[in-house]
Amino acid sequence: MSEAGGGRGFGSSVPQRAPWSLVAATAALCLVSATSVWTAGASPMSREEKQKLGNQVLEMFDHAYGNYMEHAYPADELMPLTCRGRVRGQEPSRGDVDDALGKFSLTLIDSLDTLVVLNKTKEFEDAVRKVLRDVNLDNDVVVSVFETNIRVLGGLLGGHSLAIMLKEKGEYMQWYNDELLQMAKQLGYKLLPAFNTTSGLPYPRINLKFGIRKPEARTGTETDTCTACAGTLILEFAALSRFTGATIFEEYARKALDFLWEKRQRSSNLVGVTINIHTGDWVRKDSGVGAGIDSYYEYLLKAYVLLGDDSFLERFNTHYDAIMRYISQPPLLLDVHIHKPMLNARTWMDALLAFFPGLQVLKGDIRPAIETHEMLYQVIKKHNFLPEAFTTDFRVHWAQHPLRPEFAESTYFLYKATGDPYYLEVGKTLIENLNKYARVPCGFAAMKDVRTGSHEDRMDSFFLAEMFKYLYLLFADKEDVIFDIEDYIFTTEAHLLPLWLSTTNQRISKKNTTSEYTELDDSNFDWTCPNTQILFPNDPLYAQSIREPLKNVVDKSCPRGIIRVEESFRSGAKPPLRARDFMATNPEHLEILKKMGVSLIHLKDGRVQLVQHAIQAASSIDAEDGLRFMQEMIELSSQQQKEQQLPPRAVQIVSHPFFGRVVLTAGPAQFGLDLSKHKETRGFVASSKPYNGCSELTNPEAVTGKIALIQRGQCMFAEKARNIQNAGAIGGIVIDDNEGSSSDTAPLFQMAGDGKDTDDITIPMLFLFSKEGSIILDAIREYEEVEVLLSDKAKDRDPEMENEEQPSSENDSQNQSAEQIASSSQEVDLVDQESPEESSLNSHPESLSPADTDNAASISPSEQNSNPTENHETTSLDGECTDLDNQLQEQSETEEDSNPNVSWGKKVQPIDSILADWNEDIEAFEMMEKDEL
């Protein structure tokens, strides 16, 4: 796609200011750019380099948006591997993720205001016309209220906000007459029936055509919703009210927020992840700043910024105080229990929390923002992307990465606050990684597994709504954007709402809001923004000095999430024993175990079994410590078991026109060449005859020296492997015969042997589900010669191949190849041409075992321990510890010395209540295991 006629790329200058509001000025304090005050630390980036990176972002956006418009529109999203649109109902269901898709051209609407930020004004004008012409908001589809609000209502309002700005400027959008706003209002009314609950909390889903109550609605039976789902409406709903004068939207969103506030856990001031929309009971009592809660906090602070209502700031500050007291363990942010906030609920973090440093910048609490951001960056440097979840010692917990923008968002805000060019370098790395690992001929593909570099056929709309906006703005100077970005606030989906709304149509009666707050006292300005004008000239190395101790945090750390440093130093006593530190040969540890009521049994096979009898603990506090120790041990053991399973492998198509850009998730085999230990295998592919590979091959000349493709079914995997190996193949790919199966929707497994000795099999064997396999089969139809790489982790693209591709011609050739793939992908036929009757048989005598994927079963406490007073765990553990831990230990010891009288603040709890609590914990753990982001 070419640059917009009259649109501006980097380097142009149109400084024009939109109206300001005082509220905005106050709250935008922390976003005052400090670029001019930076004098030391990372070397400054030249204007040319910034422009180059900005232009690269524009080219990347064109690649994503252009392919969506060409191959997917009017579908909701682009499927970048098969190069077609994702239409709900036509693809296998992915569960809740699909609730964002309402057959309303989601990606187009979500991209509207990005087009203006990126100076693609002409394209914006075209896109608005398409929305008005093509989008139907009345489909018989059940959608998520939350996603529809942030992406579609937010997208329409962001589009409207910039449309009226452009109209006022006098060149573009002169024909515009609030049509997007009218659509937004129509959608707002469609969402309102969701609020018809006694609590005022919205139902999580609604049918766009039939609402909630009608029998045709197919929804309305849900009892729970997530806190973020109910608490992330106020910006869009208030903007809709203020733009249109219809106050009902703001009223409903305020009512939901008021209810959540009332339901906060009063002693901790935290909220849980899931709430019952009818009773207001917390269904999940764990609490963090990531999945399920994130944007509730974001919207409290931003509602204050946009609406100027002090009660929102006071609520935010109350929660923030609790977050910093219990959840923040710099650089980590760890979930805790709302009723026992000193007890961690998890030993891992999810990727959504990466937005939090950005919010801390807006709040003005820069130090922890720098720390957490740096920790996240170290994780990214290790895995190229932020895995969906990672443990406190920075191992992958959930390996996928759907191109989430949160880290880019925080990078942008930190750069704005500090002016430190380090953050520009961070942005540059993000751009490089996206191009290197996620870019495919037809867009950008989500990572299925950051460890292997394999892809998922998915490009979420938020990638266009948010990622490109934040990356572009990171490198942009004021004159590179045709309006003043500081006149707007970013919604959670990065849609832009003008700050002048704070003084428009303020007709919401205060009686509808909690009015217990009159004036803000000084405490509301604790942790406020350090004045960058003072901070940085005095200490230009400020941000760097905070980052420096964290440089090796990922490579050299022990998990520290379990024991709270503050607990340790407050206690005046030794911190409790952590599962990871436990050594069965250490007498001191055995003594602690005994106190906690944990006994240790040496099994005959050399393993050690731990059993807890809470009743035998020295005190209820020791019993509680024992409980926590056992929980840690169960998680640790589950993690270790997971690690022992073979991770998925990658099939990378390296020949023209793919050049390594398409990486498919493959299941490993428990026999044959182990790709994690040996060099990868590279070769052209050839179909075996018979296609099922269950007898001696009749086409050995075709497969000799090649990687044979074999269809699953009718004999054992090992037998197939032997047959293709005897025919001279150097590797094999088994393709699932179950048409439509995909690693996106089915759990991956390992191909097990046949119960006999499989040492004779020396070639590597991988398994592909049908959809991934058909990508290779389509490529063969189209290009005949298709070369692939079988490996444990995708390799960088072949530099020689890369050089052949010049940026100017890249889009053309990619689009052409993508088109070809798209047209051929409709014709895939996996049935063996030679013997159709054989192929139609669908028996699978081979042995399977789960591969290490998110779908693999994991041990939960309830599975492990049916009796709460008798916990079992068997394990053997090392007691290795590292720098960070030692530092923390030292810190806690020092602070212990200076605080000899401070106690942990724990009350002695009766055993009954500990057991009751424990049951709750187990429930929470079970639910967390099931939880999807």
CB of 461 to ligand DMJ, least distance (A): 8
Q: Are the beta carbons of 242 and 249 closer than 8 angstroms? A: no
Q: How far is CA 402 from the centre of its chain?
A: 6
- Which residues lie closer than 8 Å to 131 by C-beta, 6 or more apart? 105, 108, 109, 112, 156, 159, 180, 183
Contact positions vs ligand DMJ (CB under 6 A): 150, 295, 352, 404-406, 462, 492-493
CB hemisphere CA count around 719 (13 angstroms): 18
CB of 149 to ligand DMJ, least distance (A): 10
- Residue 365 or residue 406: which is nearer to ligand DMJ going by CB? 406
State the Cα–Cα distance between residues 308 and 39, nearest whole angstrom: 35
- Residue 456 or residue 632: which is nearer to ligand DMJ going by CB? 456
Can you give 6-59 as a three-state secondary structure string? CCCCCCCCCCCCCCCCHHHHHHHHHHCCCHHHCCCCCCCCCHHHHHHHHHHHHH
Tell me the three state secondary structure of residue 560: coil
- Residue 269 or residue 492: which is nearer to ligand DMJ going by CB? 492
State the Cα–Cα distance between residues 204 and 143, nearest whole angstrom: 9
Q: How many CB atoms lie within 10 A of CB 134?
A: 12
User: How far, CA to CA in Å, does 314 sit from each of 309, 321, 526, 715?
Assistant: 9, 10, 11, 67
- Residue 150 or residue 430: which is nearer to ligand DMJ going by CB? 150
User: How far, CA to CA in Å, does 468 sit from each of 56, 169, 404, 509?
Assistant: 10, 24, 11, 38
Helix (H) or strand (E) holding 601: strand 598-602
User: How far, CA to CA in Å, does 880 sit from each of 557, 558, 638, 657?
Assistant: 10, 8, 18, 47
CB of 493 to ligand DMJ, least distance (A): 5
Instruction: Please name which of 188, 284, 278, 266 lies closest in space to residue 228, comparing C-alpha atoms.
Output: 284
Q: Are the beta carbons of 287 and 273 closer than 8 angstroms? A: yes
- Residue 405 or residue 540: which is nearer to ligand DMJ going by CB? 405
Q: How many CB atoms lie within 10 A of CB 693?
A: 30
CB of 385 to ligand DMJ, least distance (A): 12
CB of 98 to ligand DMJ, least distance (A): 14
State the Cα–Cα distance between residues 11 and 476, nearest whole angstrom: 9
CB of 463 to ligand DMJ, least distance (A): 8
Q: How many CB atoms lie within 10 A of CB 652?
A: 27
CB of 733 to ligand DMJ, least distance (A): 33
Q: Where are the alpha helices (DSSP H) in 791-910?
A: 799-804, 807-825, 836-840, 861-864, 883-898
Q: Are the beta carbons of 291 and 929 closer than 8 angstroms? A: no
- Residue 469 or residue 580: which is nearer to ligand DMJ going by CB? 469
- Residue 135 or residue 386: which is nearer to ligand DMJ going by CB? 386
Q: The tokens of 684 are what?
A: 């052209």
CB of 448 to ligand DMJ, least distance (A): 16
- Residue 387 or residue 405: which is nearer to ligand DMJ going by CB? 405
Report the b/e string of 411-423 with b at 16+ CB within 10 A: bbbbbbbbbbbbb
Q: Are the beta carbons of 847 and 752 closer than 8 angstroms? A: yes
Q: How many CB atoms lie within 10 A of CB 397?
A: 20
The neighbouring-strand residues paired with 717 are none
Q: Diameter of the chain by CA atoms? A: 85
State the Cα–Cα distance between residues 191 and 203, nearest whole angstrom: 10
CB of 402 to ligand DMJ, least distance (A): 7
Q: 877: exposed, middle or buried (C-beta count within 10 Å: 0-12, 13-18, 19+)?
A: middle
CB of 460 to ligand DMJ, least distance (A): 7
Strands 707-711 and 681-687: parallel
Strands 328-329 and 332-333: antiparallel
DSSP state string for 632-646: HHHHHHHHHHHHHSP
- Residue 352 or residue 654: which is nearer to ligand DMJ going by CB? 352
- Residue 251 or residue 406: which is nearer to ligand DMJ going by CB? 406
CB of 737 to ligand DMJ, least distance (A): 35
The neighbouring-strand residues paired with 85 are 78
Q: What are the residue numbers of the active site?
A: 147, 294, 388, 406
DSSP state string for 208-274: TTTBTTSGGG------EEEHHHHHS-HHHHHHHHHHH--THHHHHHHHHHHHHHHTSBTTTTB--SE
Instruction: Please name which of 448, 867, 836 lies closest in space to residue 665, comparing C-alpha atoms.
Output: 448
Residue 428 identity: K
CB of 404 to ligand DMJ, least distance (A): 4
CB of 850 to ligand DMJ, least distance (A): 27
Residue 195 identity: F
